[in-house]
């Protein structure tokens, strides 16, 4: 009976996305030009890296990446969460094998999801140079008074 229980548990966990895929994923970050500061928000501890780089994030986190470099316009790239084929298979395995607990775990941890886009690639746009302030408009001079007529 114990062997049957172990086999049944193994089969149920085999369909669990949190077991087969894990609750974290690696996000690759790059930019053109390279050497851009990437600030990853949505993690327990905000993380900063210099492109190209990669970070490990929880699958259920709402992630956005802010790219910034002097001389370039900052960019914010929000990541969405998507259920890929492999995540859907793990989640469906829970359904087919009656793993209600596994389904709950996968839903809570986001194990069945992936962040998109991955890799995250930003093409930085040069910032517009600061314009010099235009000169103040000149006030028109009052017309010169006519020269006195000497009547000669």
pTM for this model (two decimals)? 0.61
* Residue among 64, 73, 60, 69 nearest 25 (CA): 60
pLDDT exceeds cutoff 60 at 89 = no
What is residue 82's predicted lDDT score, i.e. its pLDDT?
85
**Burial class of residue 136 (count of CB atoms within 10 Å of its CB; 0-12, 13-18, 19+):** exposed
Query: Do residues 116 and 38 lie in contact, with contact meaning Cβ atoms separated by under 8 Å?
Result: no
Query: Do residues 58 and 24 lie in contact, with contact meaning Cβ atoms separated by under 8 Å?
Result: yes
pLDDT exceeds cutoff 50 at 9 = no
Q: pLDDT of 114-144, one tens digit each?
A: 889 999 999 999 998 766 566 666 777 777 7
- With a pLDDT cut of 90, the percent of the chain lying above it is 42
Better-scored residue on pLDDT, 107 or 57: 57
The mean pLDDT of the chain is: 76
Better-scored residue on pLDDT, 128 or 149: 128
- Ramachandran sector of residue 61 (left: φ over 0; alpha: ψ -120 to 50; beta: rest): beta
* Separation between Cα atoms, residue 22 and residue 19, nearest integer Å: 6
What is residue 141's predicted lDDT score, i.e. its pLDDT?
72
- With a pLDDT cut of 70, the percent of the chain lying above it is 57
Which residues, 6 or more positions from 117, have their beta carbon under 8 angstroms from its beta carbon?
A: 77, 79
């Amino acid at each position: 009976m114990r062997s049957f229980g172990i086999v049944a548990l193994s089969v149920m966990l085999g369909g669990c996305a949190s077991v087969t895929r894990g609750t974290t994923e690696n996000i690759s970050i790059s930019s053109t030009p390279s050497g851009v500061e990437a600030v990853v928000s949505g993690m327990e501890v905000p993380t900063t890296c210099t492109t190209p780089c990669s970070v490990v994030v929880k699958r259920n986190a709402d992630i956005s990446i802010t790219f910034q470099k002097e001389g370039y316009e900052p960019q914010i790239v929000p990541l969405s969460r998507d259920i890929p084929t492999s995540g859907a298979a793990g989640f469906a395995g829970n359904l087919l094998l009656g793993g209600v607990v596994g389904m709950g775990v996968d839903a809570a941890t986001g194990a069945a999801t992936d962040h998109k886009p991955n890799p995250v690639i930003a093409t930085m746009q040069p910032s517009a140079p600061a314009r010099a302030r235009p000169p103040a408009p000149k006030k028109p001079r009052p017309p010169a008074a006519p020269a006195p007529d000497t009547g000669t």
